[in-house]
């Protein structure tokens, strides 16, 4: 056992014996790993990831040391948007498995001490949801149409959409339907693809249906929910025209369809429902908002537990910018008594290795940023493959692209498939143990990035993640940080749990005073005496 492992064990024993009065809910400082189900592991050889595939790879997650997984939607769906278009909220899509597979996955995960968070999609259903089929058949003015947002068109013959709203995926947010009598009729709203009609959350039946869906999954033992488009459920009364142009899929400009006051009533209601279950069931909001202050309103004490901090994800690799966003986050959330929720990548954004410049530099920076993130107070979300240092795949052939963004943007935006390429597990031929084949091609170059290859390489990104998560189990769990006095390019802070993180975000080596005992680092750090040199674009953790 190395010196640092010995230290870690001692602290662990102390933590385990602390009184139950100090017990914190599991999610407070959790590391939650996002599984994009289609791309994680294929258990039946059809080229598409599935629930039995995930079960067969749970040991990877246990060895990595995560506290929970968040599964992207695996519900019955025509898959117009990778499953974010749900046909039946209580059924598993056949391509992903069965309800029994799901129950078995939850049981196996729980046995390994891994919690399970599922993805709830309340803003819209699939156009194949029975409610939508019923609405089309029932015609204008019917109760079935009132579950969605149907409106007459503008202009003398109603041929113009009801307002100027644009779809997040490009094009108008309205599609005109053919009425049961065969004539062109009303329009329905879809903030995303036409296959994803928006629900009317002012309709009580919609509200009670989702309460019921939540109970269905909570009763099956899920530990939490990720709420898709959590800021979108209500649209401003009268559906007024939008006044600003859209700026792509990650746009955070205030809009008449985002962040309306009424969403908070729903989350107060859901919080009470979650609280009525034993075992700290939690909810995390996916909400792209213009300010941290607007974000903090989703995690007020009687609302949701977490909201992804997309301001952090959107920050450039720059020490000043990092420090500013970290400070602002901690401060703003403290005002509502909440801890931050950090994230660098997910299935909607370009992988952070690539955002930070790609290649060796991108990887160096990604490793640095993740050590910073994992040292911060609060919870952290990881995205499958980042522990392998995977990059965005930017050269997928046109004909394999499946993201609706590709077509809806008139083939100008290649969409999000590049971060959804299947995980390389082992072997030396694509798809590297993902399955016999894969729905997106896996780059040859990932041969050296497989889980197997990285497991045997002590300097690999995977080993660094494992080490960091091991230390975090013991010295994580912090609620505050204090900045250290460091040179400009260095980010240095100490948490109240005794962890010190130093990150040299500049391109020159920097000498600093040794802040404690070295625990983990992204590059070799030589400590001799009272000072040490931090290599360019590197981070290290120290025990104060
Ligand atoms: C956010 C999800 O993360 C994304 O993948 C999806 O396309 C949209 N919401 C619409 O459901
Ligand atoms: Ca499969």
* Consecutive H or E run containing 540: strand 538-543
Q: Which residues surround ligand 2, an ion (CB under 5 A)?
A: 42, 44, 46, 48, 50
Q: Which of 57, 33, 11 is nearest to 435 (CA)?
A: 57
Q: Among the atoms of ligand 1, which is closest to the Cα of residue 404?
A: 7
CA atoms within 13 A on the CB side of 154: 9
The number of angstroms, rounded, from the C-alpha of 159 to the middle of its chain's C-alpha atoms is: 39
Distance CA 502, CA 497 (A): 15
Q: What does the pLDDT profile of the chain (544 residues) look like in tens digits? A: 343 433 333 333 333 334 444 679 999 999 999 999 999 999 999 999 999 999 999 999 999 999 999 999 999 999 999 999 999 999 999 999 999 999 999 999 999 999 999 999 999 999 999 999 999 999 999 999 999 999 999 999 999 999 999 999 999 999 999 999 999 999 999 999 999 999 999 999 999 999 999 999 999 999 999 999 999 999 999 999 999 887 777 889 999 999 999 999 999 999 999 999 999 999 999 999 999 999 999 999 999 999 999 999 999 999 999 999 999 999 999 999 999 999 999 999 999 999 999 999 999 999 999 999 999 999 999 999 999 999 999 999 999 999 999 999 999 999 999 999 999 999 999 999 999 999 999 999 999 999 999 999 999 999 999 999 999 999 988 999 999 999 999 999 999 999 999 999 999 999 999 999 999 999 999 998 899 999 999 999 999 9
- The answer to whether the CB of 109 falls within 8 A of the CB of 62 is no
Q: What is the pLDDT of residue 54?
A: 99
The reply to whether ligand 1 has any atom less than 6 angstroms from the CB of 84 is yes
At 8 the three-state DSSP class reads: helix
Looking at all shown ligands, the one closest to residue 41's CA atom is: 2
Q: Among the atoms of ligand 1, which is closest to the Cα of residue 121?
A: 11
The reply to whether ligand 1 has any atom less than 6 angstroms from the CB of 195 is no
At 94 the three-state DSSP class reads: coil
The reply to whether ligand 1 has any atom less than 6 angstroms from the CB of 42 is no
Distance CA 158, CA 176 (A): 9
Best mutation site among 84, 284, 343 for ligand 1 pocket (most ligand atoms within 8 Å of CB): 84
Q: How far is the CA of 147 from the centre of ligand 2 (A)?
A: 34
- The answer to whether the CB of 442 falls within 8 A of the CB of 432 is yes
Question: Model's pTM, two decimal places?
Answer: 0.95
Q: Which two tokens stand for residue 447?
A: 């041969």
Distance CA 194, CA 180 (A): 19
The reply to whether ligand 1 has any atom less than 6 angstroms from the CB of 229 is yes
Q: Which burial class, exposed, middle or buried, applies to 202 when counting CB atoms under 10 A from its CB (0-12, 13-18, 19+)?
A: middle
Q: Are strands 517-521 and 531-534 parallel, antiparallel or unpaired?
A: unpaired
Q: What are the helix (H) ranges across 185-262?
A: 204-219
The reply to whether ligand 1 has any atom less than 6 angstroms from the CB of 383 is no
Q: How far is the CA of 38 from the centre of ligand 2 (A)?
A: 8
* Consecutive H or E run containing 454: helix 451-455
Tell me which residue has its CA closest to atom 5 in ligand 1. 348
pLDDT tens figures, 126-174: 999 999 999 999 999 999 999 999 999 999 999 999 999 999 999 999 9
Q: How far is the CA of 47 from the centre of ligand 2 (A)?
A: 6
Q: From residue 329, how far is each of 93, 337, 472, 492, 525 by CA, in Å?
A: 38, 12, 20, 17, 30
Q: Among the atoms of ligand 1, which is closest to the Cα of residue 72?
A: 3
Q: What is the pLDDT of residue 17?
A: 37
Q: How far is the CA of 55 from the centre of ligand 2 (A)?
A: 12
CA–CA–CA angle 261, 263, 267 (5° rounding): 130
Q: What is the pLDDT of residue 336?
A: 98
Q: Which of 149, 188, 196, 150 is nearest to 169 (CA)?
A: 196
Tell me which residue has its CA closest to atom 6 in ligand 1. 84
Q: What residue has token string 């290599």?
A: 535
The reply to whether ligand 1 has any atom less than 6 angstroms from the CB of 169 is no
At 88 the three-state DSSP class reads: strand
Q: What is the pLDDT of residue 22?
A: 62
Q: Among the atoms of ligand 1, which is closest to the Cα of residue 191?
A: 10
User: Who's near 203: CB < 8 A, 6+ residues apart?
Assistant: 146, 147
Looking at all shown ligands, the one closest to residue 93's CA atom is: 2
Residues shown for the chain: 544
Beta bridge mates, 381? 32, 343
Q: How far is the CA of 229 from the centre of ligand 1 (A)?
A: 7
Q: How far is the CA of 268 from the centre of ligand 1 (A)?
A: 23
Q: Which two tokens stand for residue 538?
A: 């590197």
Q: Which of 11, 57, 16 is nearest to 33 (CA)?
A: 57
Catalytically annotated residues: 228, 286
The reply to whether ligand 1 has any atom less than 6 angstroms from the CB of 432 is no
- The answer to whether the CB of 457 falls within 8 A of the CB of 466 is no
Looking at all shown ligands, the one closest to residue 42's CA atom is: 2
Distance CA 341, CA 374 (A): 11
Q: What is the pLDDT of residue 477?
A: 84
């Amino acid at each position: 056992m190395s010196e640092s492992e010995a230290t870690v064990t001692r602290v662990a024993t102390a933590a385990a014996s602390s009184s139950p009065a100090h017990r914190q809910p599991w999610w407070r400082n959790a590391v939650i790993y996002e599984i994009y189900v289609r791309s994680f592991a294929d258990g039946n050889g059809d080229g598409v990831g599935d629930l039995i595939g995930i079960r067969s790879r749970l040991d990877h997650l246990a060895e990595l040391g995560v506290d929970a997984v968040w599964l992207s939607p695996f519900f019955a769906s025509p898959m117009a948007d990778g499953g974010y278009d749900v046909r039946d909220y209580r059924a598993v899509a056949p391509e992903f498995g069965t309800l029994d597979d799901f129950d078995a996955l939850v049981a196996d995960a729980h046995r390994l001490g891994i919690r399970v968070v599922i993805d709830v999609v309340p803003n819209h259903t699939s156009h194949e949801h029975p409610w939508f089929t019923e609405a089309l058949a029932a015609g204008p003015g019917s109760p079935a149409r009132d579950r969605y947002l149907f409106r007459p068109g503008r202009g003398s013959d109603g041929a113009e959409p009801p307002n100027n709203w644009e779809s997040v995926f490009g094009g108008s947010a309205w599609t005109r339907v053919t009425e049961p009598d065969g004539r062109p009729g009303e329009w329905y709203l879809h903030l995303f693809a036409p296959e994803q009609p928006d629900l009317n959350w002012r309709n009580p039946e919609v509200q009670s249906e989702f309460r019921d869906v939540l109970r269905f999954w909570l009763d099956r033992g899920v530990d939490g929910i990720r709420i898709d488009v959590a800021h979108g459920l209500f649209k401003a009364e009268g559906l007024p025209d939008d006044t600003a142009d859209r700026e792509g899929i990650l746009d955070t400009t205030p809009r008449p369809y985002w962040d309306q006051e009424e969403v908070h009533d729903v989350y107060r209601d859901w919080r009470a429902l979650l609280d009525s279950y034993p075992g700290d069931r939690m909810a995390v909001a996916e909400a792209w908002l213009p300010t941290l202050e607007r974000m903090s309103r989703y995690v007020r004490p009687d609302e949701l537990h977490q909201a992804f901090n997309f301001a952090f994800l959107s920050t450039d690799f720059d020490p000043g910018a990092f420090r500013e966003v970290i400070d602002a986050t901690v401060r703003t959330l403290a005002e509502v008594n909440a801890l931050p929720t950090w994230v660098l990548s997910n299935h909607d954004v370009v992988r952070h290795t690539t955002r930070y410049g790609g290649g060796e530099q991108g990887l160096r920076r990604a490793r640095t940023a993740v050590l910073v993130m994992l040292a911060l107070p609060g919870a952290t979300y990881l995205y499958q493959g980042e522990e392998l240092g995977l990059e965005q795949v930017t050269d997928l052939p046109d004909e394999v692209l499946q993201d609706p963004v590709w077509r809806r943007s008139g083939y100008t935006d290649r969409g999000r498939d590049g971060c959804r390429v299947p995980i390389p597990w082992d072997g030396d031929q694509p798809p590297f143990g993902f399955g016999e084949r894969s729905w997106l091609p896996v780059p040859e170059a990932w041969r050296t990035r497989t889980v197997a290859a990285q497991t045997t390489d002590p300097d690999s990104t995977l080993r660094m993640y494992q080490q960091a998560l091991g230390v975090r189990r013991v010295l994580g769990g912090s609620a505050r940080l204090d900045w250290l006095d460091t040179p400009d390019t260095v980010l240095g802070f100490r948490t109240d749990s005794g962890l010190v993180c130093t990150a040299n975000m500049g391109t020159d080596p920097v000498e600093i005073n040794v802040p404690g005992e070295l625990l983990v680092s992204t590059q070799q750090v030589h400590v001799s005496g009272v000072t040490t040199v931090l290599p360019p674009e590197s981070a290290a953790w120290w025990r104060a």
